[in-house]
Amino acid sequence: MTLDAKLAEMVDRHEIHQVMLRYARGLDRLDNALARSCYWDDAIEDHGHFVGTPDAFISWADGTTLAFESTQHAVMNHFCDLQGDDAYCETYYHFSGVTAEGPNFMSTGRYIDHFQKRNGEWRIANRVTIVEGTYDVPKPAQAPSPMTAYTAEEPCQATRDRNDVSYHRPLRPRQPK
């Protein structure tokens, strides 16, 4: 394989992985436009209890994650079989959802994706989500001591929308005292 071909393959793999990261961020920040940007319009999402279009899935996922105070979609092992403008990927995920009263929820599994590159852009053409495990995680009997890093005057900068510190440009950390 030539150096140019290797570089092109590396760029394709990177762009596909960026779609996966954008998807996780979109779901966790309740940024529906960001999550939706990961799919082609004609894609089918086959996701456990849901099978349907990207728009219907984003609406369903948004309603599902609102049951939690916070969520984290972690993408892990990622295998990508590139075949021209098609790619067949398997990406392991770990989902956690925190509730006010408990129990918390955790799910593990894999995203099995068919990506397509259209007009120079990679997006999900079809997805099957394989849920391999779901777990209720009890709240600890004794809650950990409260975090002292945040006060009413300087609250935590985490939110589930575009006000989250991860969207701030430029990034403005709290100032040392």
- Residue pLDDT, tens place only, 33-85: 999 999 999 999 999 999 999 999 999 999 999 999 999 999 999 999 999 99
Q: Classify 25 as helix, strand or coil.
A: helix
**pLDDT attached to residue 144:** 53
- Residue pLDDT, tens place only, 144-175: 545 566 777 777 888 899 889 899 899 988 77
Phi, psi of 114 (to 5 degrees): -110, 110
**pLDDT attached to residue 141:** 66
As to burial, measured by CB atoms within 10 angstroms (0-12 exposed, 13-18 middle, 19+ buried), residue 58 is buried
Q: Classify 113 as helix, strand or coil.
A: strand
- pTM equals 0.90
- Residue pLDDT, tens place only, 79-138: 999 999 999 999 999 999 999 888 999 999 999 999 999 999 999 999 999 999 999 999
Q: Which residues fall within 8 angstroms of residue 105, CB to CB, at 6 or more apart?
A: 68, 95, 96, 97, 99, 134, 135, 136, 137
**pLDDT attached to residue 152:** 78
Q: State the residue for tokens 């852009």.
A: 121
DSSP per position, 31-71:
-HHHHHTTEEEEEEEEETTEEE-HHHHHHHHHHHHTTSSEE
**pLDDT attached to residue 139:** 82
Domains of the chain: 3-139 (3.10.450.50)
Other CB atoms within 10 A of residue 75 CB: 15
